[in-house]
Structure 1
Amino acid sequence: MKHTSMAANEITSDDFTLQYLVREPKIKSSKNKAIVLLHGVGSNEQDLFSLADHLPAEYYIISARGQFTLGPGRYAWYNVDFSTGRPVIDAQQELSSRKIIREFLAQLKQKYKLDEVYLGGFSQGAIMSYSIGLTHPKDVNGIIAFSGRVLEDIQSSVTKNDDLPGLRVFIAHGVQDGTLPVHYARQAKTLLQNLEVPLTYHEYDMAHQINGEVLKDLGAWLKTE
């Protein structure tokens, strides 16, 4: 993803667990709805916020900054090591981010009086969205997973329950993805189908990225709730 600067409000209040950017709805709706976006490793809140003008105007678009600093303007939800040829995560950091994001969602719901929340992200942000949505499906109305995967401990621990069928999931993944190959998306698809989670699944002729076709399909999905 490329960074694009946009005018917005950056919240740095000590009352919130994460810094974030917000675009308020351009069109009033009968419900207060939000899309909360989580960036990938090494990026920041500006990245996915650059998609705001391509997302439905009736939603709050909120983009959060990961809690772990990797360098100037570079953040993560947890550290990950690819040196073995497969991603090895810092599990304690991932659990910490999961807890903080859930607290952040609760803060957003209270501040903006949100009726619906869709949690989504790119790469590591998609991973966090899966983890929170599948383990705490009452926290969100849906998951938006751009080029992500479901962590092994989530796959092995989540079982069918009465709340999961109320969770909607949108998956978008590139068949040329060399960072998180498309087999991760296909694993997630099988898992979600087995859990009877309502799923919309798309593969695209692209690499580890988000393109216009993805955003068009996401917009259509959001309108079919």
Structure 2
Amino acid sequence: MNDADQHVAYFPGQSDLAPVLMLHGTGGDEQDLFSLANFLLPQHPTLGIRGRITEGAGANRYFIRHADGSFDLDNISSESDWLWDSVSTLTAEHQLDAQQLIVLGFSNGANIAAYSLLHKQPPFKTAVLLHPMLIEPQSTLPDLTGVNLFATFGDLDPIVTETNFDELITELKTAGADVTVFKNHQSHHPSQAELAAAKDWLSTK
């Protein structure tokens, strides 16, 4: 089912399984990652929320990126707050346990999830982050003990540099997160290889 006014999609699943939160990449929407979510975690209740920022000709995003490629840090802070407030409201509405959320984020969606872990206090403890990048280094790291992450990088990625990706992973690990890294010979898109590895990883959680 899809609420066009709120730009939210909800796909009911087995109520005893952890809910999945889909966070799309630039240009995606609230349903964009459903086939991936269904492959990784079939039968799980699945929720998607569209980012409310638009870029260029109308590409959906979760936060503002300027023309020079830099990010609006005030905007990502406020949009992160909006996102997790929305998650709280929607999980309550659908009787889902927000503390059991498994985040599936790609690119821009993975970025706001990783940013939130380092700068906010989001409810989730488990996430698959496909091609994330470090938006803003955090001088004072939170305690991410108990957080389990699977993060991927492609060595042909024209958007995320390996240096930036490695810096993100270092911050997350230094904060106490248990991070499994998957690097592959690919560009900035989900691949069968990384999804298969993510599925294997999720089976152990």
TM-score using structure 2 length: 0.87
Greater displacement, 167-176 / 180-189: 180-189
- After superposition, give the CA deviation of every residue in 1:150-176 in whole Å (9 maximum; x if it has no partner): 222xx3234253xx1111111011111
- C-alpha displacement of 1:114: 2.5
- Please name the residue that 1:44 is paired with: 29
Unaligned segments of structure 2, at least 5 residues: none
Aligned match of 1:191 in 151, 171, 174?
171
Closer/same/farther in 2, CA of residues 138 and 51 from structure 1, 3 Å limit? closer
Distance in structure 2 (CA, Å) of the matches to 1:157 and 1:66? 27
- C-alpha displacement of 1:178: 0.9
Aligned match of 2:72 in 82, 87, 90?
90
1:172-187 correspondence runs (5 A): 172-187=152-167
Determine if the alignment matches structure 1 residue 146 to structure 2 residue 130.
yes
- After superposition, give the CA deviation of every residue in 1:195-219 in whole Å (9 maximum; x if it has no partner): 2211111101110010111111111
Q: Among the aligned pairs, what percent are the same residue?
A: 22
Distance in structure 1 (CA, Å) of the matches to 2:187 and 2:179? 22
Letter of the 1:105 partner, please give it: V
Distance in structure 1 (CA, Å) of the matches to 2:106 and 2:122? 22
Distance in structure 2 (CA, Å) of the matches to 1:157 and 1:92? 17
Distance in structure 2 (CA, Å) of the matches to 1:146 and 1:10? 24
- Please name the residue that 2:104 is paired with: 120
- Please name the residue that 1:169 is paired with: 149
- C-alpha displacement of 1:90: 1.6
- C-alpha displacement of 1:40: 1.9
- C-alpha displacement of 1:93: 2.0
TM-score using structure 1 length: 0.80
Q: Secondary structure at the match of 1:145?
A: strand
Contact 1:170 1:218 in 2 (8 A): yes
How many residue pairs are counted as aligned between the two chains? 203
Unaligned segments of structure 1, at least 5 residues: 1-8
Distance in structure 1 (CA, Å) of the matches to 2:192 and 2:44? 19
- Please name the residue that 1:10 is paired with: 2
Letter of the 1:19 partner, please give it: H
**CA RMSD for the aligned pairs?**
2.2
Determine if the alignment matches structure 1 residue 21 to structure 2 residue 12.
no
- C-alpha displacement of 1:82: 5.5
Q: Secondary structure at the match of 2:158?
A: coil
Letter of the 2:77 partner, please give it: L
Greater displacement, 179-188 / 48-57: 48-57
